[in-house]
Amino acid sequence: MVSLLSLTRRLAKLHCLSESPSLPGLNEKVQALRRQPWPSLPLNSKFVVFDTETTGLSCKKGDEIISLGAVKLEDGEITEHFHHMVDPKRNIPAKISQITGITNEMAADCPDILEVLDRFLEFQGCFPLIAHNASFDLGFINLKLRQYCGIRLSIPVMDTFLLSQLLFPSAECHSLDCLAGSYDVPITDRHTALGDAIITARIFAKMVQDLKARGVTTTLELQRLLHHRRLVPSL
């Protein structure tokens, strides 16, 4: 027998799925990407490096994505760019506008998050993701995907924040700014989604050289080393 709670959840999911015309394609993309095994790829393979800007720090307290940016990185070179602002359907605090440069007026005519996520997943294709402090960005993305598609992304993601802890275990700072300074990466368009994605991509390209010097040449070797150092769960 189906419980009332289970039935309510199913009806809520169906209602969400019918709310946006962009969802059929988005749902198919998320289904195709879910539960991907961790690949064994050379560290100079093609990856998608991404970042988000948000109205605040807590997706669970109602903060929303206002910008999503990404680049494709292959053999240490950036080959393609992706960037969209998002209508968060809520007020953007003045302090966030000061940091990101995105105002309520700028976001008002932008697509909603579902449409932007659909475009982002099209841009990503089947390539593994890279981000700095990836759990933050994926938290916002997966909250929306669970809400509207009923499932979340569960795909390989390399986190430069965790890689920094691996490569510089005694360092006091693992922020994007500190890493950019350590690797002599120019800081331009900071606190914009595309700008931070570009900075992260350039940092990762430098990290690959350090990892290769330690004998780590594939994504699978890297994931196992991170697990060995207790920085990520087992595969």
Instruction: Report domain extents, the chain.
Output: 41-228
Partners of 73 in the β-ladder: 47, 78
CB atoms within 10 A of CB 37: 9
Q: What is the CATH number of domain 41-228?
A: 3.30.420.10
Q: How far is it, in rounded angstroms, from Cα 109 to Cα 118?
A: 18
pLDDT on residue 234: 66
Residue in this structure with the two tokens 């948000």, named with its chain if needed:
54
Helix (H, G, I), strand (E, B) or coil at 21: coil
CB 209 within 8 A of CB 184: no
Predicted local confidence at residue 197, as pLDDT: 98
Judged by DSSP in three states, 77 sits in strand
Residue-wise pLDDT tens digits, 199-222 = 999 999 999 999 999 999 999 999
CA angle 156, 161, 163 (to 5 degrees): 70
Low pLDDT (below 50) residues in the chain: 1-2, 4-22
Cα torsion 98, 99, 100, 101 to 10°: value is: 30
DSSP designation for 173: -
Please name every residue paired with 69 in a beta bridge, in sequence order, or none if there are none.
51, 83
Q: Which residues are catalytic?
A: 191
In this structure, the strands spanning 46-54 and 129-131 are parallel
